[in-house]
Structures are given as C-alpha cells and as structure tokens.
C-alpha cells in the first residue's frame, strides 16, 4: 500500500481530487469571463487570471490548482505534465520526451529540448535486413524504437530554472502521485484508443502492458478505475530525488531490464547493443535558442531544431505575408454578406488563399526533409531558410496552379495519431509555458516498464532510417536526420507563443498530431491573426495538411464544396478528403484586449480549458 506524505502540500491526495471535482469538473470555473467595461486598468499588460489547457480534464484541473496555490506557469506546466503521465498514457508519459517554451511576461524567451536520444550502441544497420532494406516495424514496436527518455529531466529542469520556488518540487508531483495511487476513471478517449487495432496489437504483445490495460484480455472500458501503484512509486522517488532518481537507481535499472527482456521475447534483434544504465546516466536536456520571427506586428516565438515546427511555421507565415490575404478575407466576407454560393461558409478562407497556404506548406516541408536534423550533429541553415531572399524565391515560385514538384514518389497515407500531447499555461503575471511531449505513436513502443509503471517511447522512428524510406507519418528525410548514437530525431512539435508587438503574451498554442502539428498550429495562428476569427472558431474550423511528399493534400471533412471544387479545377490541387479524420488537437490560450484569457481545448479530443476563478 503506497501512502504519499508528498500529497500534503496540496491538501492530501483525496482532498485534491475532491476539490478538483467540486471546482473544475462540475463546470464552476468558466472558460472565459466577461470583461468589466469600467475597469480603468484596461491597458495593463498582465492577464486578469491564469489558464491551463490540456488534453485531459484532470490534468488541466491539476494545473489550475497549482496556479491557485501561488505557483507560476512553469510550476503549473510541470504538475499538469506529470498528471498527464498518469491519466493520458497514450502520450503524456515519463518514458518519452518533448519541448517546452517559457515566455516570461518581460524578458527573453527560453526553450528546452528534452527530446529522446539514440542509445550509444545503436546504428542504422540494426534496422536493415541483409539486402539493406528497412525491416518493417523495428523502429516502432521493438526496443530499437526506444530512445533514452527526456521528460523526467526536462520537467525537473523547467521547475528548477523557471519555477516560482513558492512550491516544492514534491508539491508539483503530489497530484500525479495521488492519481496513480488512488486511480482515476478511464475516460472515453482512453477506452477508445485502447480498442484501436494498432495500439492493441502492440500493448497486448507486452505482458506488463497487457496486464495493466487489458485485464482479463479485454481493454479497460470507460468508467473503470485505473490504479497504477508501480507508477505511483516511481513518481514518489522522483518527487523526493528529482531527475537523478529517474536516471539512476531502481527506475533506470528497471528501464534497462525491461528492454533486455523485450528483446529476448523478440529473438535478440538488439542483443548486447541494448540501451544501458550509462545511456540513461549520460542523458542531458539542451537549452536551445527559441526561433523568433515577426508576422504583421506579432512576435512569433517557437521551437527550433531538432524540432522542425518553428521553422516551418515561420517560413509559411513569411511566405503568406506577401500575398493579399486581407483583400481575400474581405472578399470572402462580402460574398458571405451577400449570400453568394462561392463564400467559404464555415471556413473563412477563399479557395485562392487556401491554395497559397497549401503551396507554402509544400515548400516548408520540402526544406524540412532536406535540411533539418539535430543541431548538435548537423549544421541546420536556419538563417538561409528564413532569409528574405529565400522566402521571396519560394513565394515567387507559387503560381495559380499546384506545383507538387517533379518526383512521382508515393507513400501510404500516414496513420492517424494522437500520440503526442500539448499543454498551454498562462499565469496571472503574464508568463507562459507552451509544452509538447510525446511517446511518438499512441502508447509509444507498447513496452511497459513493469516495475516502474510507464510506457517507453518509439521516437527513433522519427529518424530517416534510409534515404527515401518514409517513417510512420509518411515523412522522408535526408542525411541531416540520419540515426547516430547520441543524436535526437527530427520532430514536428511546435510549441509556440505569440507576443503582441513583442510585448505582452497574446497567444499560447500547440498541438499533437505528427507533422499535422505544424499545419494545425499554422492554420489556427493564421485564422486568429489574419482572419480575425475567435480562438474557438479558428480551432473548430476544418483543417488541411500538405507535407510535400506525398504530393496530395489531405483535408478533414467540413470544407465547403465550392472551395474544394475551385482548388481542384482552377488550381490543380490533388485533394484527399478524409471525413472521419481529425487533424491535431490544438490546446491554446489567447489573451483578449480586455486582458481576459480565452482558453480553448480542441473539440476534436476530450481535453479541457480551465481559467482561474
Ligand atoms: N514523434 C512525433 C514528432 O516528434 O514530431
């Protein structure tokens, strides 16, 4: 029986859950409050209250509780991420990695790379057969997919560097410990994700994962209480000892033991080149310079390599800035007012501006495939890729017709994935954290560290394992993203914060969704900044995704037929509408002019936006 003395700082495990239920889950905290029109302090830059948006209501509630206790955005982000590690095993997890962006109310933004690294014994040859072809799912379902986890060090570093210090680290861990120890009701999303064939196959193949998620051989169903005592013990050690308690001692030993056992079951494909306790001891997060650009008077701050998200976002915004989007927006509005059939009813974007958007995405993803990788191993020419001459060149190359390039390469459509998770936090002092974490695919490798209670990632599939061979997202890469010992695989995670005129934080945003992270964030940013849509409308609007290869553009259902027809007939775009697909799950907070936060969790998934009372 695990009893947590660490839960005291937040009022006890049961006390915490009770207040969560009373305050948040009963809807007593509205997502947006009305402004006071007589407030004389309208011009003050700080928001009136903080907000947390995450992909699980219990995790969002943890974050708001920490803000209410006097924690800042970094404290709340750490506690929310740890809660996700318990209630969102699909992605929020100790066994994976991610990126965090800290943007203070005043001062320099800071970004943290806690992406997984390649174990020292690994090399591309382990993934290939005798003829040099990449072997099926080795980088997805076996220990060869598992990179050295970064999240435990990343979260600890965020707390140490930017936490308010008004709360002990143990206090930030306490809600997660309580959720793991006491259990929580499985929500419809977890139940649904466990029923999916891809996850089921992977998790059922691992005895520990099968025991936890498929007791009696059946997936946990909605409403069942999931208790995770091994995870509670791991979190208690972490709460007491910080990151060192993960990267050495019982937890590190359990990770290595689990991988060796999994390899034995698979017939020794890794053998003595497995991940070692030294790999774990050697893991280091990297503080990176955030990518900063400007778009129409807004300072856009996002993640640089080894994520490709920030660069692609800035490139697309820069390319589009040269197109007459405002004329187009006004025309759509006029058409709508006149009730003309060509109006882009729910979308706001005309077919022509959608065409420009698709072509800009295509070019950004071409650069991604060719140039991007871990900056500790390759020289990523960021300045060249963002130089006005290059952006102009890319813009000029966009004509009225689709330009998919000369190659006729095709890949299977990327699988659906909500394997990654994003949280956005704003505190009442105006500080923001935008953090995306992942295991790569849903439930990662499916390999559960039995004695420590968490799943391990399969992030190494994000490397380009052989030239022209697509990864699970259909993305191809080049030498820059080749797997090497100690290297981090290229990512699409796009944690982003926008400051109005470089001053106050006006938008905190990010999403899961593989490469569709980049395009989902991009589309919401465009809709808010150019099309002046509310955050809710911008997030709800149907999305599209173009990633250079394959050359066709994928679209969610809901696009007006007139737009689709014009894109195909006038602009030569090859479109594939996927009415049942959902692209990303944006979690965002906008600070309105009246200083109220408008917080929105994408209705595509079951997250929650919560604003402080
Ligand atoms: N594993 C997905 C990404 O990092 O983009």
Mean pLDDT score of the chain: 89
State whether the beta carbon of 493 lies less than 6 angstroms from ligand 1. yes
Q: Is the confidence at residue 196, as pLDDT, over 80?
A: yes
How many angstroms separate the alpha carbon of residue 462 from the centre of ligand 1? 6
Q: Which ligand 1 atom sits nearest the alpha carbon of residue 517?
A: 5
Give the CA count within 13 Å in the CB-facing half-sphere of 323.
27
Query: How high is the pLDDT of residue 502?
Result: 86
Q: Which residues are catalytic?
A: 420
**Which of 454, 457, 449, 456 is CA-nearest to residue 180?**
454
- On whether the CB atoms of residues 372 and 481 are closer than 8 A, the answer is yes
Q: Which ligand 1 atom sits nearest the alpha carbon of residue 462?
A: 1
How many other C-beta atoms lie within 10 A of the C-beta of residue 287?
11
Q: What is the pLDDT of residues 415-466, one digit of tens each?
A: 445 579 999 999 999 999 999 999 999 999 999 999 999 999 999 999 998 8
State whether the beta carbon of 440 lies less than 6 angstroms from ligand 1. yes
Q: Sorting pLDDT into bands at 50, 70 and 90, what band is 92? A: confident
Q: Sorting pLDDT into bands at 50, 70 and 90, what band is 341? A: low
36 vs 331 pLDDT, higher one: 331
Q: Is the confidence at residue 590, as pLDDT, over 80?
A: yes
In angstroms, the CA 304 to CA 287 distance is: 11
Query: How high is the pLDDT of residue 237?
Result: 98
State whether the beta carbon of 157 lies less than 6 angstroms from ligand 1. no
Q: What is the pLDDT of residues 35-51, one digit of tens each?
A: 444 444 444 479 999 99
Q: Is the confidence at residue 474, as pLDDT, over 50?
A: yes
**Which residue shows structure tokens 């910080």?**
242
Closest-CA residue, ligand 1 atom 4, reads: 491
Backbone torsions φ then ψ of 576, nearest 5 degrees: -130, 105
Average pLDDT over residues 565-569: 96
Triad 146, 148, 150: Cα angle to 5°: 120
In angstroms, the CA 514 to CA 488 distance is: 16
Of 19-23, 288-292, 484-488, 495-499, the poorest mean pLDDT is in: 19-23
Q: Is the confidence at residue 280, as pLDDT, over 60?
A: yes
Query: How high is the pLDDT of residue 42?
Result: 43
Q: Is the confidence at residue 330, as pLDDT, over 90?
A: no
Q: What is the pLDDT of residues 156-194, one digit of tens each?
A: 999 999 999 999 999 999 999 999 999 999 999 999 999
State whether the beta carbon of 475 lies less than 6 angstroms from ligand 1. no
Query: How high is the pLDDT of residue 350?
Result: 85
Residue 395 DSSP class: H
Q: Sorting pLDDT into bands at 50, 70 and 90, what band is 24? A: very low
Give me the domains of the chain, ranges plus CATH numbers. Answer: 64-286+438-463 (no CATH), 291-403+494-611 (3.60.20.40)
């Amino acid at each position: 029986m695990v009893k947590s003395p660490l839960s005291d700082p937040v009022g006890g495990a049961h006390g915490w859950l009770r207040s969560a239920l009373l305050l948040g889950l009963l809807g007593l905290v509205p997502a947006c409050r009305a402004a006071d029109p007589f407030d004389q302090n309208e011009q003050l830059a700080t928001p009136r209250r903080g907000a947390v948006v995450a992909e699980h209501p219990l995790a969002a509630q943890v974050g708001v509780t920490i803000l209410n206790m006097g924690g800042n955005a970094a404290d709340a982000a750490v506690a929310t991420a740890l809660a996700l590690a318990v209630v969102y095993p699909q992605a929020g997890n100790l066994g994976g990695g991610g990126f965090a962006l800290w943007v203070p109310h005043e001062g320099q933004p800071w970004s943290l790379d806690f992406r997984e690294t390649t174990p020292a014994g690994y090399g591309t040859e382990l993934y290939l057969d005798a003829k040099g072809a990449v072997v099926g799912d080795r980088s997805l379902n076996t220990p060869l997919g598992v990179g050295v986890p970064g999240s435990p060090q990343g979260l600890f570093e965020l707390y140490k560097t930017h936490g308010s210090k008004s709360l002990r680290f143990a206090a930030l861990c306490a809600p997660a410990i309580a959720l793991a120890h006491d259990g929580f009701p499985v929500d419809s999303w977890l139940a649904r994700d466990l029923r999916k064939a891809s996850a089921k196959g992977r998790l059922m193949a691992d005895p520990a994962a099968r025991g936890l998620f498929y007791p009696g051989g059946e997936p946990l169903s909605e409403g069942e209480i999931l208790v995770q005592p091994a995870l509670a013990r791991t979190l208690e050690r972490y709460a007491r000892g910080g990151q060192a308690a993960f990267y050495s001692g019982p937890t590190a030993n359990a990770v290595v033991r689990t991988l060796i056992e999994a390899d034995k079951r698979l017939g020794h494909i890794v053998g003595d080149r497995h991940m070692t306790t030294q790999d774990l001891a050697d893991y280091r997060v990297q503080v990176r310079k955030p990518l900063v650009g400007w778009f129409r008077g807004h300072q856009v701050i996002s993640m640089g390599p080894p994520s490709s998200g920030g660069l692609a976002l800035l490139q697309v915004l820069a390319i589009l800035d040269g197109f007459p989007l405002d004329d187009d927006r006004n025309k759509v509005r006029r058409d709508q007012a006149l009730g003309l059939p060509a109006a882009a009813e729910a979308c706001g974007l005309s077919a022509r501006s959608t065409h420009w958007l698709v072509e800009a995405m295509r070019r950004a993803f071409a650069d991604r495939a060719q140039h991007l990788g871990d900056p500790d191993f390759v020289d990523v020419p960021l300045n060249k890729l963002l130089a006005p001459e290059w952006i102009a060149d890319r813009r000029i190359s966009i004509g009225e017709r689709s330009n998919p390039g000369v190659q006729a390469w095709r890949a299977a459509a990327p699988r659906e994935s909500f394997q990654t998770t994003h949280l956005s936090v704003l505190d009442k002092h105006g500080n923001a954290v935008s953090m995306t974490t992942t295991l790569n695919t849903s439930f990662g490798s499916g390999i559960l560290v039995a004695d420590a209670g968490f799943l391990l990632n399969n992030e190494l599939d994000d490397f380009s394992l052989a030239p022209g061979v697509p990864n699970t997202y259909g993305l191809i890469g080049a030498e820059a993203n080749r797997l090497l010992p100690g290297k981090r695989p290229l990512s699409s995670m796009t944690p982003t914060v926008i400051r109005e005129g470089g001053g106050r934080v006006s938008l905190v945003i990010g999403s899961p969704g593989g490469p569709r992270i980049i395009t989902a964030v991009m589309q919401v940013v465009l809709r808010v900044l150019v099309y002046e849509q509310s955050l809710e409308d911008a997030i709800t609007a149907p999305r599209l995704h173009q990633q250079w290869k394959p050359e066709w553009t994928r679209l969610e259902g809901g696009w007006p037929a007139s737009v689709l027809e014009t894109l195909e007939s006038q602009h030569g775009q090859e479109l594939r509408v996927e009415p049942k697909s959902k692209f990303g799950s944006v979690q965002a907070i906008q600070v309105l002019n009246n200083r109220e936060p408008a917080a929105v969790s994408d209705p595509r998934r079951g997250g929650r936006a919560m604003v402080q009372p």
